[in-house]
Amino acid sequence: MSSDLLDSEISTGLALEVRQVTKSYGNLVALDDVSFELRKGEAHALLGHNGAGKTTLVRTIAGQVVPDSGAVFVDGALVSLSSPRDAQVCGIAVVDQELTLLPALTVAENIHLGRRDARFFGAATDRNGKIASLLTRLGLAHIHPDTLVAELSLAERQLVEIARALSRDAQILLLDEPTATLSDVEIQRVFTVVRDLLTEGRSVIYVSHRLGEVLDLCDRVTVLRDGRRKATRPVAGMDRAGIVRLMLDEGAVEAARIPRREGNGDAPSVITARGLAAPQLFSLVDLTARAGEIVGIAGQIGSGASSVVRALAGLVPSCTGEVAVDGHPGSPLGTPIRSARAGIAFVSNDRKSEGLFLDKSITRNLVATRPRQTCRHSVVSAKRSRDLGRQLCALVGIDAKRAEDPVSSLSGGNQQKVFIGRCLEHPEVKVLLLDEPTRGVDVAGRAEIHNLVRRAAAGGAAVLFVSTEFDEVLDLADTVVTMFGGRVVATHRGSDIDASTILAETTHGSSVRGVA
């Protein structure tokens, strides 16, 4: 698409216009007076790092979130998108980053499911014919429409998800991180289909962390930051560095200039992992963390970063490679029990389903993994538990009077502190793993949690954390490891950490992979 055309709004009609939309959750403003225009026949990238408001905007367009104020126009007409069905009626099809296919149904049934015009297909044979041609278009000719989705690979499922959106004959296709689980060949297939759609005059909103794909596929890019629209620019003439500059806020650049704490090079390495690999998740991952060192693993969704810490926690049974803790070499830690015995504590990114015992008291949660500290002659001492609970409450900054209250009565940020507090001042913990330590936590809570993590490191533990928010990585890590596509891109020690490098490395495609 030529750039002179892009500059004249009149020459192309708008397929979709979002006008001055605002949405807040409590005191958190997710979208602040954001406007967004999608032209017909255009591929428009939506960028912004975490917390920028990207997902809220996507959900607004998909009818999953109703904004507090503002309006949405489809094809020039004001519409009310108050449910996903409304969006479907308006010709908007969404391919979510989370797979929504039902594994127990066939491909055809899944594609057929939830259609607003179910009659469209007519007889089953006719239906299968149409689906087969759709699948062929996506390079899935080898898959029969009657195949069960359960038998498909993750990437194939993602492509079927796209086929389903296409089958709805949508004018506007919203692809939210569609390539996170796909290989390069599969990504190219998706691109081919998307380009076909564009020439047919349909429009595509493309949400991705991968800048290479954006440059390759899209005509324009809108960058959100802190809930506002930072810029909308034609892609032609932009490069990665340009986009990265738009995405970065000055604060983060400033933070990056603060000299890093030089990790104590002489401290013994507490955990060393060599050649970690798990099928479909990551491969050839080497990591080291010294006592007192905070290692931040930066990577977008699908980069494998989260899976790596899960593997170290023993939660990825298929993981192979070598892990040595405290100089004791061993096979990969196949079960969480083995990891715990080796002195590894894990704070999951999902404190509700994989973290806290919500019905139990704050104290019980804090001492859950400390039988040795709470028992006397192998009998649980109520007094010891209580004292320890109070002491840990004080440590994590929760009123000790509440120590016996159920942990579910705390706010999200405080719950997270309890979760992390479980691993603090723990004589058996040598390595602390955290996956998204401040997910869903407000700014104040975030700072407190960061201090807790620093404290754990100061106490001699080796800390490894994963974050998709690179502000957090810059803020907290002594050493930054960047990951992309299941591989480590680079390891930055001490002062050579730089915001744009991290962003580039975690969003780059294959060009950087060679360097690693």
Partner 1 sequence: MTAENVTAADPDTTVRAPVPSERRGPSSSAPRMLWGLVVLVAVSALALTTDGFVSVANARAILSSVSFTGILAVGTVVIMLSGNLFSLSIGTSAAVSSMLFLYLLPDVGFVLAVLLTLVAGYATFALQGAIVGRLDGNAIIVTIGAGALQVGAVTWLLPGSVQVPDGVDIGFLTRSVLGLPFPLYVFLAVALLVQCWLHYSATGRQVELVGENKAAARAAGLPTGKLVTVAFAVAGLCTAITGILLAGFNQNANLAVSGTFTFDAIAAAIVGGSSVIGGRGSAARAVLGAVIIATIANMLLLRGFGTGVRVLVEGIVVVLVVVAAQRRKRSIA
Residue 26 or 122: which CB sits closer to partner 1? 26
CB of 470 to partner 1, least distance (A): 11
State yes or no: residue 8 binds partner 1 (CB under 8 A).
no
Please report whether residue 346 would count as binding partner 1 according to CB under 8 A: yes
Token couple for 246: 């738009």
| Sequence letter at residue 433 | L
Burial string for 434-458 (b: 16+ CB within 10 Å, else e) reads bbbbbbebeeebbebbbebbbbbbe
Of the candidate spans 66-74, 280-288, 463-471, 489-497, the one that interacts with partner 1 by CB under 8 A turns out to be 463-471
Instruction: State the Cα torsion 201-14-214-63 to the nearest 10°.
Output: -100
Cβ distance to partner 1 smaller for residue 287 or 313: 313
Closer to partner 1 by CB, 33 or 286: give it.
33
- Site membership for partner 1, residue 374 (CB under 8 A): yes
Q: 302-331: which residues touch partner 1 (CB under 8 A)?
A: 313-315
Closer by beta carbon to partner 1, 272 or else 374: 374
Which residues ranging from 272 to 301 are in contact with partner 1 (CB under 8 A)?
300-301
Is 332 one of the binding residues for partner 1 (CB under 8 A)?
no
Ranges within 378-397 binding partner 1 (CB under 8 A)? 378-380
Count CB neighbours of 314 within 10 A: 22
63: left (phi over 0), alpha (psi -120 to 50) or beta: left
> What backbone phi and psi angles, to 5 degrees, belong to 137?
-60, -35
Quote the least distance from Cβ 438 to partner 1, whole Å: 9
Smaller CB separation from partner 1, 257 or 352: 352
Cβ atoms of 143 and 60 within 8 Å: the answer is no
Number of residues that bind partner 1 (CB under 8 A): 72
Sign of the torsion angle spanned by Cα atoms 475, 479, 482, 486? negative
For residues 403-462, which are near partner 1 according to CB under 8 A?
A: 404-406, 409-413, 415, 422, 436, 439-442, 445
Among 41, 74, 97, 305, binds partner 1 (CB under 8 A): 97
Based on CB atoms, which residue is closest to partner 1, 50 or 288?
50
Give the nearest distance from C-beta 211 to partner 1 in angstroms. Answer: 15
Q: Which stretch binds partner 1 (CB under 8 A): 24-32, 138-146, 160-168, 486-494?
A: 24-32
44 near partner 1, rule: CB under 8 A: no
Rule CB under 8 A: say whether 353 interacts with partner 1.
Answer: yes
Helix (H) / strand (E) containing 30: strand 28-39
Rounded to an integer, what distance in angstroms lies between the CA atom of residue 230 and that of residue 99? 30
- How far, CA to CA in Å, does 386 sit from each of 147, 239, 364, 410, 423? 57, 58, 9, 18, 17
From CA 128, how far away is CA 139, in angstroms rounded? Answer: 16
| DSSP secondary structure letters along 147-170 | SBGGGS-HHHHHHHHHHHHHHTT-
According to CB under 8 A, which one of 28, 66, 78, 394 is a site residue for partner 1? 28
